[in-house]
């Protein structure tokens, strides 16, 4: 048996029955409907916050605080209601969220 054959045999012993590979976090599609009406999709991990998933958008969801108190990151889930993106997590079936506000250059620079 070759070195690669031994490796494959050892890996097969470690795998759960019926599983082609070792299990990892499930990935699903998170859809974001932006304020302009455009739709953006990202791959997200189940259990990841919507705010963290939005960092893979060209412009992420606006967050005004760093302690989950400002409610600037509110999104509307479909189905569901309004939630804070910094607290709401991606469910196993994926999610669609209507975004109220995105980051803008003026907010980053501190312009009014």
pLDDT tens sequence across 11-30 = 777 766 554 554 557 899 99
In a domain, 12, yes or no: no
Collect the ranges in the chain with pLDDT lower than 70: 1-5, 15-24, 104-112
In a domain, 82, yes or no: yes
Distance of alpha carbon 62 from alpha carbon 104, whole angstroms: 8
Which residue, 50, 86, 52, is CA-closest to 68?
Answer: 86
Residue 6: the pLDDT is: 75
pTM of the model: 0.69
Q: Which position has the token pair 């939630």?
A: 83
Q: What is the pLDDT of residues 30-41, one digit of tens each?
A: 999 988 899 999
Residue 9: the pLDDT is: 73
In a domain, 3, yes or no: no
The CATH number that applies at residue 76 is 3.10.20.30
End-to-end CA distance of the chain: 70
Helix, coil or strand: residue 76: strand
In a domain, 95, yes or no: yes
In the chain, the number of structural domains is 1
In a domain, 8, yes or no: no
In a domain, 2, yes or no: no
In a domain, 17, yes or no: no
């Amino acid at each position: 048996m070759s070195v690669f054959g031994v490796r494959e045999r050892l890996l097969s012993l470690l795998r759960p029955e019926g599983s082609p590979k070792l299990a990892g976090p499930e990935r699903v599609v998170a859809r974001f409907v932006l304020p302009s009406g455009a739709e953006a999709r990202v791959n997200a991990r189940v259990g990841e916050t919507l705010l963290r998933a939005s960092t893979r958008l060209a412009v992420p969801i606006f967050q005004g605080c760093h302690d989950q108190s400002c409610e600037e990151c509110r999104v509307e889930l479909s189905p569901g209601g309004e939630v804070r993106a910094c607290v709401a997590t991606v469910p196993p079936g994926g999610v669609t969220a209507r975004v109220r506000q995105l980051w803008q250059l003026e907010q980053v620079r501190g312009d009014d």
